[in-house]
Amino acid sequence: MKRSFSLLLLVFLFLSGTASSQEWEIFEASEYNIKISVPPNWKTSTGTQDGIPYLEGISPDETLSLFIFVYKDAGISTQELLNNAVNDLGIALEGESAQENLNGMDAWVASAAGSIDGTEIHMFIAAATYDENNYVAYIFTAADNSEKNAPTMNKILDSLAPLK
């Protein structure tokens, strides 16, 4: 997964920008029972990587990227899911991860930083479980943009919710 994710990161990651204050759009994937809000005019799509379904989004200025991978593994805890996601990318958590209720889902959230293929990045990660689905959501930006993009990144991640 690390190599494919790294390639996707390089395609989507650029140096500057932030989201506008227009009304946000809801990106729904009913086949995975999940929705998330993104700023206006984001490009969104679904696909599979190594047989694992995902949702992706990219900001219009290509400075923020979002990936949500969907897993069907009832035998893994949410905290293990987060730890596996961090280890797969070879990045380091900033501070401690925290457990929370994310819109009715059991979730572990964290902030991380690292270098992927020579690009310094900052990322927010959430691992969440709901019914039979496990989700790992990554939203990231170039490290140089992390301070200005952090509020938008946090708002996007906080909007992750199951379809009811």
Domains contained in the chain, CATH given: 2-162 (3.40.1000.10)
Per-residue tokens: 149: 């993009």
Mean pLDDT for all residues in the chain: 84
How many angstroms separate the CA atoms of 126 and 117, rounded?
22
The pTM score is: 0.82
pLDDT digits (tens, 9 = 90+) for 89-111: 888 899 899 999 999 999 999 99
How many angstroms separate the CA atoms of 36 and 132, rounded?
18
Query: In one letter, which amino acid is 12?
Result: F
Structure confidence at residue 66 (pLDDT): 95
The end-to-end CA distance of the chain, in Å, is 30
Q: Where does 117-150 show beta strands of DSSP type E?
A: 119-130, 133-142
Looking at residue 23, the DSSP 8-state letter turns out to be P
How many angstroms separate the CA atoms of 112 and 89, rounded?
10
Per-residue tokens: 32: 């995975």
Mean pLDDT value of segment 36-44: 94
How many angstroms separate the CA atoms of 33 and 131, rounded?
9
| Three-state secondary structure call for residue 12 | helix
pLDDT digits (tens, 9 = 90+) for 45-83: 999 988 889 999 999 999 999 999 998 877 888 999 899
Q: How far is CA 4 from CA 7, 22, 117, 141, 150, in A?
A: 5, 32, 11, 17, 25
Mean pLDDT value of segment 23-36: 90
* Residues 21/151, Cβ–Cβ less than 8 Å: no
Cβ-based burial of 23 (10 A; exposed 0-12, middle 13-18, buried ≥19): exposed
Structure confidence at residue 162 (pLDDT): 93
